């Protein structure tokens, strides 16, 4: 079990498969100039599967989310999913992606054992998408989402970040579109994830702003706390149901007290929190041929030292220097 000194138990593992991405979203990374991890520094497919096996069989992890960078850029992804689906007990498996490669991979991922996907899409306007991501790939994302839905990777969850002056007026349109397409929409407050350190607290679109905008067109009814559990999103029923919309208020209403996550970076480091400034090296242990029990104990000790919160609720918060593309969302 991965328990910390505050009594939280981590059962949800986020695995970054690569630091590379085929978009350059303005709130995540600069247009150019990032130094990618060298291939020898990345975990191999076998190392990833071994760590997931240890997490599932020895440490009580029940859910695995594959992230990046962009995880669909990992050549061995389908094989990794297939091998993890054969574990006993079998973890629930999902993928967070920008959707560009989903059209060609959705069916294979479903066959391999993936349960569902989260797709990042911030706008319905192709020109705004190009401005936000610095790439003209809006149609590819829409096609990928449809392929995931048709393959049965459901519910397809859509993650949207609203940016002042770009797409901050799109919340009602995004919700209407998601309901029509059968997707589950979740808005995420912009967090300090950009390598160029351009995030400013006083310029972000807050959860309150998002809800106010949605209520200009929809009736929202809050779900109870019992329904939320450890999920990061607060959810509302839309117009009496059955559709819902979620808001992840990481900055203005942190959910650290209920956090059940542990994270592996693309180069094999344990992170107790997305915004942690310390890491614990598992890659070195793996490559020293130590037994699984030793790796598991290192992981337990790392999680025991998890801090009470992320620090995002502190106005003086400074984002860490390590590029977030290697850590995963």
Q: What is the C-alpha to C-alpha distance for residues 310 and 319, in angstroms, rounded to an integer?
A: 10
pLDDT at 55: 98
pLDDT at 203: 64
Predicted pLDDT at 311? 57
Average pLDDT, stretch 319-324? Answer: 49
Band (318; pLDDT cuts 50, 70, 90): very low
- Position 322 pLDDT exceeds 70: no
Tell me the H-state helices in 123-170.
126-133, 138-151
User: Which of 13-22, 86-95, 260-269, 310-319 is least confident?
Assistant: 310-319
Q: Is the pLDDT of residue 329 over 60?
A: no
Task: Between 118 and 27, name the one with better pLDDT.
Answer: 118
Mean pLDDT value across the chain: 88
The DSSP bridge partners found for residue 96 are 118
Cα distance between residue 96 and residue 132, in whole Å: 18
What is the Rg, in whole angstroms, of the alpha carbon atoms belonging to the chain? 19
Contacts of 101 (CB under 8 A, 6+ apart): 22, 70, 72, 73, 144
DSSP letter string, 154-165: -S-EEEE---TT
Least confident of 16-20, 149-153, 187-191, 287-291: 187-191
Measured between alpha carbons, how far is residue 325 from residues 50, 72, 257, 329 in Å?
22, 14, 25, 8
In the sheet that holds 116-120, the strands lie side by side as: 220-222, 234-238, 244-248, 184-188, 157-160, 116-120, 92-97, 63-67, 12-16, 261-264, 269-271, 280-281
Question: What is d(CA 105, CA 110) in angstroms, rounded to the nearest whole number?
Answer: 9
pLDDT of residue 91: 98
Structure tokens at 158: 């859509």
Nearest-angstrom CA–CA distance, 264 and 50: 12
> Mind listing the pLDDT tens digit for each residue in 53-63?
999 999 999 99
What are φ and ψ of residue 96, in 5° steps?
A: -105, 125
- pLDDT recorded at residue 196: 45
Would you state the pLDDT for residue 317?
46
For range 231-240, the mean pLDDT: 90
- Comparing 177-181, 284-288, 318-322, the range with the smallest average pLDDT is 318-322
pLDDT digits (tens, 9 = 90+) for 252-303: 887 788 899 999 999 999 999 887 888 999 999 999 989 999 999 999 999 9
Return the structure tokens found at 105.
């991979």
What is residue 37's predicted lDDT score, i.e. its pLDDT? 86
> Using 50, 70 and 90 to split pLDDT, how confident is the model at 232?
confident
Does the pLDDT value for residue 315 go beyond 60? Answer: no
For residues 135 and 22, what is the distance between their CA atoms, to the nearest angstrom? 8
Q: Are 119 and 144 in contact (CB under 8 A)?
A: yes
Asked if residue 82 has pLDDT above 90, the reply is: yes
The SS3 call for residue 97 is strand
Structural contact between residues 244 and 223, judged by C-beta atoms closer than 8 angstroms: yes
Assess whether pLDDT exceeds 80 at residue 316. no
Q: How far apart are CA 128 and CA 44, in angstroms?
A: 37
């Amino acid at each position: 079990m991965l328990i910390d000194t505050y009594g939280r138990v981590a059962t949800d593992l986020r695995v970054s498969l690569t630091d590379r991405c085929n978009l350059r979203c303005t709130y995540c990374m600069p247009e150019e100039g990032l130094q990618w991890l060298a291939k020898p520094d990345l975990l191999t497919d076998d190392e990833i599967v071994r760590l997931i096996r240890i997490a599932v069989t020895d440490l009580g992890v029940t859910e695995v989310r594959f992230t990046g960078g962009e995880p669909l850029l990992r050549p061995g992804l389908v094989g990794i999913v297939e091998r993890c689906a054969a574990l006993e007990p079998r973890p629930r498996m999902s993928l967070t992606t920008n959707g560009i490669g989903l059209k060609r991979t959705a069916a294979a991922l479903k066959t391999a054992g993936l349960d569902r996907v989260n797709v990042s899409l911030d706008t319905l306007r192709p020109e705004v998408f190009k401005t936000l991501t610095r790439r003209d790939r809006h149609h590819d994302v829409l096609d990928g989402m449809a392929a995931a839905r048709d393959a049965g990777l459901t519910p397809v969850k859509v993650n949207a970040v609203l940016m002042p002056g770009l797409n901050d007026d799109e919340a009602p349109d995004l919700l209407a579109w998601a309901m029509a397409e059968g997707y589950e929409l979740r808005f995420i407050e912009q967090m300090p994830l950009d390598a160029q350190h351009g995030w400013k607290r006083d310029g972000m679109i807050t959860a309150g702003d998002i809800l106010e905008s949605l209520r200009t067109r929809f009736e929202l009814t809050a779900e109870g706390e019992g329904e939320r559990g450890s999920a990061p999103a607060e959810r509302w029923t839309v117009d009496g149901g059955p559709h819902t919309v979620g808001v992840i208020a990481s900055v203005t209403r942190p959910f650290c007290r209920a956090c059940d996550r542990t994270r592996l970076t693309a180069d094999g480091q344990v992170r107790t929190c997305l915004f942690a400034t310390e890491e614990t090296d598992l890659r070195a242990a793996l490559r020293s041929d130590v037994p699984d029990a030793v790796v598991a104990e290192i992981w337990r000790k790392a999680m025991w030292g998890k801090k009470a919160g992320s620090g995002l609720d502190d106005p003086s918060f400074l984002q860490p220097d390590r590029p977030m593309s290697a850590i995963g969302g």
